[in-house]
């Protein structure tokens, strides 16, 4: 008979061992899944996890990998603060979309003026502001009306998706686009483009911001009062109340932070890799970032690694799609399984397994 | 084109049924003290399972049976993780939704262009002949009636039966219920299976009756709206019906207004159900959640 016994302290070994065990477990389960839909499981795993980084065409895939990882890391860093404190912003996808719309609107308003020193910073501010405003709706409703922020932030994702489709064929449509939906391509507008800073590396402003946000988050969480409050509120809300932590400000702070970072990620995406506002702009990054945040143990360095790994599943998934006709949805299933296995393996962090011969229960 | 009020109200009922089904299942789950945020994932799994089962067997009944099974299947996965491996319910529910969306997209890939089996209408003899009301309430398919019967059954079960009392006790305080010798995990497991089956049925109602076709992301947030309605209803079956029909009303009305070609832009109309959900959550929710809702239960000795 197997029995779980609560550990006095979470196991340090499993705290970091669990994500790795989860990745291995997911690879096994994923191989099984690929085998079931009639693909060579070993080849699939190799195509997804090995080839993009070390294979023949790695010079093409590596920059793509970095570009995909940047928004995931940025959004996940923002989410990690709220998740630590028990504030569940599930609508990062919506904040990401609104950030992109706001940033792109600013750029298009100035088109074709050439003044990058002014336009690009303004776009960044608009992107952050858009994300923050969109995140403030659930935050303020929670503070003033005790409304559940999970549901409100999620509803706003669907609203944002409708908005981006409307803007792509309405207000922001390219007047020279011969009636096709979609805005002007920002990568062809030098004052607004978020291009690679060093050719062939994949490094654009979003990547630099992502790395900076990891460093900043590390400092805030370990050295700043705000990081302490966040951790305290998550571990013991009562103790936090006695310590004088203002929960309302915490909600506003955490939601604002994740909204701002999500909006920023959206802006960098629309001005760079994606290039234009389209109905298909939503990329599911806001949801995948939730997996990244958990996989990285809500820790900045962990999130950096998890973001790279999750980007690898996207890039590798695309490669496997073209090379072995693997359905694109299979990668989504794979990502879902990754979160499932992580949560399952995590039981070992807080509990130890005991074998008993006595009758259970 | 004008809006015919009788047809509109009948459409409201059709639009409400999937949300009502998913919500009544989730209500039982939450009354047992488990917060399953994976309703959207269970619904879309049910939608795809139901669609495939109906398509392959050419039987709507088997389709709905398959949907209930599929929904209950993924709910069992959630139950295993949260009850046995003691995972965080919020995170596991999200994982279930992400997993379900991916799974449905993968499995449903080949079915996008197929035609679906039609679900027959079953007018209730006598009652369906009442002018107006008969067309609105008594000329639907079996699933609509089933959803109402389920709500009544859940209401009766929670209010009058011994097992219903045990389920509520477990939801209010699982430690105390455990101390009294009730089987917390067993009750929660069956509650979750019921919730999954209901969500599955709701999903299949969308893919087999409302749309009826297979499209990616077909449930488009219905599962989340169902979750919101459970909170709006203060965890009471009676108010649940009001909530579900209110949202069905908004959805059906906006579709009807779109069809009349009124001067309101389509996008404002199609975001209205989501905005309405937020408004209702802000203005009308109240009531107390079950005491143990969302907490992990571990019987230590």
Residue A68 maps to a domain: yes
* B145 phi-psi bin (left φ>0, alpha ψ -120 to 50, beta other): alpha
pLDDT tens figures, B126-180 = 777 777 777 777 778 889 999 999 999 999 999 999 999 999 999 999 999 999 9
pLDDT reading at B301 higher than 70:
no
Q: Does A34 touch chain B (CB under 8 A)?
A: no
CATH number at residue A205: 1.10.3470.10
Q: Which one has a higher pLDDT value, B281 or B31? A: B31
Q: Which one has a higher pLDDT value, A77 or B254? A: A77
**Residue B10 C-alpha, separation from nearest chain A C-alpha, in angstroms:** 26
**Residue A153 C-alpha, separation from nearest chain B C-alpha, in angstroms:** 9
**What is the three-class DSSP state of A2?**
strand
Average pLDDT over every residue of B225-244: 90
Residue among A81, A7, A338, A91 at smallest CA distance from B86:
A7
Domain that holds residue A274: 60-326
CB within 8 Å: A343 and B87: yes
pLDDT of the residue at A359? 53
Q: How many CA atoms lie within 13 A of A26 on its CB side?
A: 29
Count residue pairs from A and B with Cβ separation < 8 A: 125
Contact (Cβ atoms closer than 8 angstroms) between residue A124 and residue A140? no
Q: What tokens appear for B206 in the block?
A: 């969308």
Residue A33 maps to a domain: no
pLDDT of the residue at B294? 83
Pick from A165, A329, A361: CB nearest B102: A329
CATH architecture of B5-284: Orthogonal Bundle (1.10)
Q: Tell me which chain A residue has its CA closest to the CA of residue B105.
A: A329
Q: Does A5 touch chain B (CB under 8 A)?
A: yes
pLDDT of the residue at A177? 76
Those of residues 77-106 in B touching chain A at CB distance below 8 A are: 77, 81, 85-88, 90-92, 94-96, 98-103, 105-106
Q: Tell me which chain A residue has its CA closest to the CA of residue B222.
A: A155
pLDDT reading at B285 higher than 50:
yes
Q: Does B180 touch chain A (CB under 8 A)?
A: no
Give chain A's domain count. 1
pLDDT of the residue at A184? 83
**DSSP-assigned beta bridge partners for residue B231:** none
Pick from B37, B102, B278: CB nearest A332: B102
Cα distance between residue A154 and residue B107, in whole Å: 25
Buried b (16+ CB within 10 A) or exposed e, B30-48: bbbbbbbbbbbbbbbbbbb
CB within 8 Å: A151 and B81: no
CB atoms closer than 10 angstroms to residue A231: 17
Q: How open is the CA angle A103-B264-A97, to the nearest 5 degrees?
A: 20
pLDDT of the residue at A361? 46
Chain B positions touching A332 (Cβ under 8 A) are 98, 101-102, 105-106
Q: Does A171 touch chain B (CB under 8 A)?
A: no
Q: Does A58 touch chain B (CB under 8 A)?
A: no
Q: How many CA atoms lie within 13 A of A303 on its CB side?
A: 30
Contact (Cβ atoms closer than 8 angstroms) between residue A76 and residue A265? no
Q: Which one has a higher pLDDT value, A177 or B300? A: A177
Cα distance between residue A150 and residue B292, in whole Å: 18
- Per DSSP, helices labelled H in A272-299 are 285-295
Q: Does A311 touch chain B (CB under 8 A)?
A: no
Bond before A44 cis per omega within 30 degrees: no
Residue among B134, B265, B16 at smallest CA distance from A167:
B265
Between the alpha carbon of residue A203 and those of residues A195, A216, A228, the distances in Å are 8, 19, 32
Q: What tokens appear for B64 in the block?
A: 């709905």
pLDDT tens figures, B26-76 = 999 999 999 999 999 999 999 999 999 998 898 889 999 999 999 999 999
Contact (Cβ atoms closer than 8 angstroms) between residue A215 and residue A208? no
Is the ipTM, as predicted for this complex, more than 0.90?
Answer: no
Cα distance between residue A238 and residue B32, in whole Å: 25
Q: Look at strands A2-6 and A351-355 and give their pairing.
A: antiparallel
Q: Tell me which chain B residue has its CA closest to the CA of residue A340.
A: B95
Cα distance between residue B272 and residue A181, in whole Å: 23
Domain edges within chain B: 5-284
Residue among B9, B16, B64, B51 at smallest CA distance from B198:
B64
Residue A53 maps to a domain: no
Pick from A335, A343, A361: CB nearest B91: A343
Residue among A190, A172, A191, A204 at smallest CA distance from A272:
A204
**CB burial of residue B284 (10 Å; 0-12, 13-18, 19+):** middle
Q: Does A140 touch chain B (CB under 8 A)?
A: no
pLDDT of the residue at A357? 66
Q: What percentage of residues in chain B have a pLDDT greater than 70?
A: 97
pLDDT tens figures, B198-208 = 999 999 999 99
Distance of CA A181 to the CA centre of its chain: 27
Query: Which residues have C-beta within 8 Å of that of residue A151, sequence separation ≥ 6?
Result: B224, B227, B228, B231, B277, B278, B281
Average pLDDT over every residue of B244-250: 87
Cα distance between residue A4 and residue A9, in whole Å: 14
Cα distance between residue B52 and residue B210, in whole Å: 16
CB atoms closer than 10 angstroms to residue B84: 14
CB within 8 Å: A155 and B224: yes
Q: Does A331 touch chain B (CB under 8 A)?
A: yes
Query: Which residues have C-beta within 8 Å of that of residue A237, sequence separation ≥ 6?
Result: A86, A247
- Low-confidence residues of chain A, pLDDT below 50? 360-361
- Sequence-separated contacts (24+) of B114-119 with Cβ below 8 Å: B114/B55, B114/B214, B116/B51, B116/B54, B116/B55, B116/B207, B116/B208, B116/B212, B116/B213, B116/B214, B117/B54, B117/B55, B117/B58, B117/B59, B117/B60, B117/B63, B117/B208, B118/B60, B118/B212, B119/B60, B119/B143, B119/B208, B119/B209, B119/B212
Residue A256 maps to a domain: yes
């Amino acid at each position: 008979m197997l029995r779980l016994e609560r550990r006095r302290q979470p196991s340090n070994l499993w705290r970091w061992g669990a994500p790795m065990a989860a990745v291995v477990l997911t690879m096994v389960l994923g191989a099984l899944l690929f085998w079931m839909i009639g693909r060579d499981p070993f080849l699939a795993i190799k195509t997804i996890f090995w080839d993009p980084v070390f294979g023949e065409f790695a010079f093409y895939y590596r920059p793509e990998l970095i570009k995909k990882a940047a928004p995931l890391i940025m959004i996940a860093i923002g989410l990690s603060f709220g998740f630590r404190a028990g504030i569940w912003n599930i609508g990062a996808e919506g904040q990401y979309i609104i950030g992109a719309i706001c940033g792109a609107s600013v750029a298009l308003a100035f088109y074709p003026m050439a003044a990058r020193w002014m336009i690009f910073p303004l776009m960044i501010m608009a992107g952050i502001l858009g994300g923050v405003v969109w995140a403030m709706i659930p935050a303020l409703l929670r503070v003033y009306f005790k409304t559940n922020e999970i549901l409100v932030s999620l509803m706003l994702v669907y609203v944002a998706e409708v908005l981006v489709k409307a803007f792509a064929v309405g207000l922001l449509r390219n007047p020279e686009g011969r009636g096709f939906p979609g805005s002007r391509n920002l990568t062809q507008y030098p004052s607004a483009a978020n291009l690679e800073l060093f050719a062939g590396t994949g490094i654009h402003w979003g990547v630099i911001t992502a790395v900076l946000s990891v460093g900043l988050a590390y400092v805030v969480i370990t050295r700043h009062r705000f990081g302490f409050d966040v951790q305290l509120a998550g571990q013991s809300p009562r103790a936090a109340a006695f310590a004088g932590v203002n929960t309302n400000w915490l909600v506003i702070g955490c939601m604002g932070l994740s909204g701002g970072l999500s909006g920023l990620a959206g802006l960098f995406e629309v001005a760079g890799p994606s290039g234009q506002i389209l109905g298909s702009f939503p990329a599911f990054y806001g949801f995948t970032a939730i997996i990244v945040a958990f996989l990285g143990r809500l820790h900045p360095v962990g999130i950096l690694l998890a973001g790279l790994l999750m980007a690898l599943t996207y890039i590798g998934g695309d490669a496997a799609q073209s090379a072995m006709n693997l359905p694109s949805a299979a990668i989504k299933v794979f990502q879902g399984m990754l979160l499932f296995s992580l949560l399952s393996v995590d039981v070992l962090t807080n509990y130890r397994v005991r074998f008993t011969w006595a009758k259970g229960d | 084109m004008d809006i015919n009020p009788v047809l509109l109200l009948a459409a409201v009922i059709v639009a409400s049924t999937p949300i009502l089904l998913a919500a009544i299942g989730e209500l039982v789950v939450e009354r047992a003290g488990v917060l399953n945020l994976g309703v959207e994932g269970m619904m879309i799994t049910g939608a795809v399972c139901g669609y495939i089962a109906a398509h392959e067997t050419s039987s709507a009944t088997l389709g709905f049976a398959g949907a209930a099974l599929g929904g209950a299947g993924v709910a069992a996965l959630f139950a295993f993780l949260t009850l046995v491996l003691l995972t965080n319910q919020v995170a596991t529910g999200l994982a279930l939704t992400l997993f379900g969306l991916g799974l449905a997209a993968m499995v449903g890939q080949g079915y996008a262009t197929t035609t679906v089996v039609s679900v027959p209408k079953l007018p209730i003899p006598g009652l369906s002949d009442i002018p107006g009301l008969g067309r609105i309430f008594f000329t639907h398919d079996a699933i609509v009636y089933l959803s109402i019967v389920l709500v009544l059954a859940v209401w009766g079960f929670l209010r009058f039966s011994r097992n219903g009392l045990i389920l509520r006790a477990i939801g209010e305080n699982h430690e105390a219920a455990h101390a009294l010798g009730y089987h917390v995990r067993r009750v929660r497991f069956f509650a979750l299976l019921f919730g999954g089956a209901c969500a599955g049925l709701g999903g299949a109602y969308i893919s087999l009756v409302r749309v009826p076709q297979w499209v990616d992301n077909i449930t488009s947030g219905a599962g989340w709206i169902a979750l919101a309605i459970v909170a709006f209803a203060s965890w009471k079956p009676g108010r649940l019906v009001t909530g579900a029909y209110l949202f069905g009303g908004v959805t059906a009305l906006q579709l009807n207004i779109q069809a009349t070609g009124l001067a309101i832009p389509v996008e404002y109309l199609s975001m209205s159900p989501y905005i309405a959900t937020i408004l209702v959550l802000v203005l009308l929710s109240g009531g107390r959640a079950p005491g143990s809702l969302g907490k992990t239960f571990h019987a230590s000795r």
